[in-house]
Structure 1
Amino acid sequence: MPTPITQKGFDALKAELDRLRKVERPKNIEAIAEARAHGDLSENAEYDAAKERQGFIAARMAELETKIAEARVVDTTGRTTDTAVFGATVLVIEQESQSKRQYTLVGQDEADMKFNRISVQSPVGRALIGKRVGDFVEVTTPAKVIEYEIVEIKFEEL
């Protein structure tokens, strides 16, 4: 099943995979060879650490290859719509506190609350998708139900 992702997010996945292939894996192979040269492998902590790192690198590379293969890049440049869709930045007002919040709807691998990027699969993301300016949405959290009013929908450079 294709996973939506922005071009920037897709490029970041490819860059990480490239770095693992061209920098991290060769560096790790050298570390293993150097640790082997130290002799007895049964009590060689450097060798054990390098082998463990090798496993991590291989697993991460496989994970990235799968994500890249399943990715469907969604072009959000120059897009305009009055509906909250993938790639949109949505300004909402939380009804109880009247505080404004802004969320950009992105794929799961791009979600980062430091930059107000939320996954379209998150509870807030699912509630916003398909809604329009003036709509109210409810998001159920473990603590309470939060109601937001959608104030603005725009597209920014991701």
Structure 2
Amino acid sequence: MKMDKEIVLTYNRLKELEAELEYLKTEKRKEVSEKIKVARGFGDLSENAEYDEAKKEQGEVEVKIVSLEKMLKNAKVIDEDEIDTSKVAVGTKVKIYDMDFEEEVSYEIVGSTEASPDQNKISDESPLGRALIGAKPEEVVTVESPNGEYQVKILEISK
């Protein structure tokens, strides 16, 4: 039996996903069901675009519900109090010095479902995230990215 991959989440992200799941199961399901009912009233289902569209949306909603349920079942929530700032880990914020661009950049290391590069939240599975995990302050790590290797120095780790 294949084990499902553990999903690492912050408490806030867990609450967001639970709220989305609740919305999909209650309000969205009813909304789509109502669309199907209305579309059925238009008659011939073989040439009923509204019906086809509503059924398609229903399928998408159900797939999203199953996906969220699976994700939440495999969720591991990061306990803020247990975050160790002696090394880079999921849940830490890290300030690095990019040696190629000669600039300081700060990132928050998050699980893959929370990654948002435009908000400087990088996944532990990204090339930079993978290279940083386990590194300590003052350490220089090599990042293997699709564009080649580069080095960064860890300046500071915080919560």
Give the TM bin, normalised by the shorter chain: over 0.9
Deviation at 1:134, TM superposition (A): 0.3
**Structure 1: stretches of 5+ with no match in the other structure:** none
**Alignment partner for residue 11 of structure 2, among 7, 11, 17?**
7
The Cα RMSD (Å) is 1.3
TM-score normalised by L of structure 1: 0.93
Deviation at 1:79, TM superposition (A): 4.2
Structure 1 stretches of 4+ with a deviation exceeding 4 A read 77-80
Q: Report the equivalent of 2:77.
A: 73
- Contact map agreement 2:88 2:136 (CA 8 A) in 1: yes
Q: Report the equivalent of 2:144.
A: 140
Q: Report the equivalent of 1:47.
A: 51
- Tell me which amino acid in the other structure corresponds to 2:65: M
**Alignment partner for residue 64 of structure 1, among 64, 68, 78?**
68
Deviation at 1:38, TM superposition (A): 0.8
Q: 1:8-157 alignment to 2 at 5 Å?
A: 8-77=12-81, 79-155=83-159
Quote the sequence identity (%): 35
Which whole-Å CA distance do the structure 2 matches of 1:63 and 1:145 have between them? 35
Which whole-Å CA distance do the structure 1 matches of 2:80 and 2:125 have between them? 18
- Tell me which amino acid in the other structure corresponds to 1:50: A
Number of corresponding residues:
155
**Structure 2: stretches of 5+ with no match in the other structure:** none
Which whole-Å CA distance do the structure 2 matches of 1:140 and 1:2 have between them? 24
Deviation at 1:143, TM superposition (A): 1.9
